[in-house]
Amino acid sequence: MKNDFPHLFNNKLSTSQLAHELLNSYKKLPNHFHPIWKNKECKITVTDIIGNPKDFLFKPKKSESILHELGLAYFADNQSGKLGIPGGKRSYSLRGDLIKLERALARWTLKRLINEFNFTPIVIPNLINSDIIRACGFEPHGLRTQVYSFSGSPNTCLAGTGEMPLASLHIGECFPSDDILPKRYCALSRCYRAEAKSSGEMSGLYRVHYFDKVEMFGIVEETESDKLLEEFVTIQRTLFTDLGLHFRIVDMPPNELGPPAYRKFDMEAYMPGRDYWGEISSASNCTDYQAKRLNIKYKKFYFDDNNGDILDVHTKYVHTINGTACAIPRMIISIVEQNQTKDGRVIIPEVLRPMIGCHELRPFERK
């Protein structure tokens, strides 16, 4: 290559510029994918179906219709009520028992993650630098971006997921030993997305510009990331089962993965009002893709089996895993549509009733 382009390699400035361009191009490449998909057809694989479908003796309604009739929600998409309109398209407003359900979902999920699954809770910012977004494998600018940025400060963006600020917690750090790994973090945050997609089942609460979400994030040594991904999926399965949901677990093929993901599982709940399996959660193993771009490493010690002396020390990149513990609007859709009754009532999952103080969502009455 040097002989083919002497004008580049004989000029220090050009060589530096070339290296910079090559590095930027390298960072845009996607992660490699799990070998399980080698020589396999790229189609989603349902690995398990959990729970039993409800046997409705009536035509089930969409959650948005039920909630509007109860006076608990307004949506700008169908201009049903003025409270959803100020935010524009894909905005919404909740009130009454639906707010209690929203808060109960977040509190119950965080409590389980912290007390039962040993996660460390973190309060994270809603504003994030575009370089962090890019390092996590997402494009903060451009026509197809899902990221909101400020016109007066284009490098300042609204976080689309808690994954990005959680990933940046240890930017530039080197953990002194693999003994202190894995790290398990969780956060409740408001997420903002441009969401250009549009279709019938995605109207209302399904695809909105802002929503609250409880995120799980893990940092682990390179040989343990598959195991931690499996742990995250097990946690998701446990939480959704305890909420009484009918859902399935899907192993997503390489053509359905974002750039940072090495392997990804989606959780899809059946939404009878839509007659549709809708994604309510996902979990991804990003291996060292984000760690290389955020420069997060750890020291791996190798010991003599006989006397315990240190034989060698290697510095390696950590692996990162992320997963959604509770995307609240999608959970509301699933709970409302699966637990609706013929007369328009919605039965609250048993585990949430102590926090909400009632058995079903009560119609909102203006006082």
State pLDDT tens for residues 99-118.
999 999 999 999 999 999 99
Rounded to whole angstroms, the Cα distance separating 122 from 175 reads 19
163 labelled binding-site residue:
no
Q: What is the pLDDT of residue 204?
A: 79
Residue 280 has pLDDT above 80, yes or no: yes
Interval 185-211 mean pLDDT = 80
State pLDDT tens for residues 76-101.
755 444 554 566 677 788 899 999 99
Residue 8 has pLDDT above 60, yes or no: no
DSSP string, 217-239: EEEE-TTSHHHHHHHHHHHHHHH
Residue 195 has pLDDT above 80, yes or no: no
198 labelled binding-site residue:
no
Interval 50-73 mean pLDDT = 92
State pLDDT tens for residues 222-253.
999 999 999 999 999 999 999 999 999 999 99
User: How much of the chain exceeds pLDDT 70, in percent?
Assistant: 86
250 labelled binding-site residue:
no
281 labelled binding-site residue:
yes
185 labelled binding-site residue:
no
State pLDDT tens for residues 287-301.
999 999 999 999 988
241 labelled binding-site residue:
no
194 labelled binding-site residue:
yes
195 labelled binding-site residue:
yes
321 labelled binding-site residue:
no
* Under 8 Å between Cβ of 171 and 195: no
Output 8 or 120, whichever has higher pLDDT.
120
Question: Phi and psi at residue 50, in whole multiples of 5°?
Answer: -115, 140
210 labelled binding-site residue:
yes
Residue 187 has pLDDT above 60, yes or no: yes
Average pLDDT, the chain: 88
Rounded to whole angstroms, the Cα distance separating 164 from 157 reads 11
Terminal Cα distance for the chain, rounded? 77
State pLDDT tens for residues 16-55.
676 667 767 767 788 888 888 887 778 889 999 999 998 9
Q: What is the pLDDT of residue 13?
A: 57
Interval 264-280 mean pLDDT = 96
* Under 8 Å between Cβ of 318 and 228: no
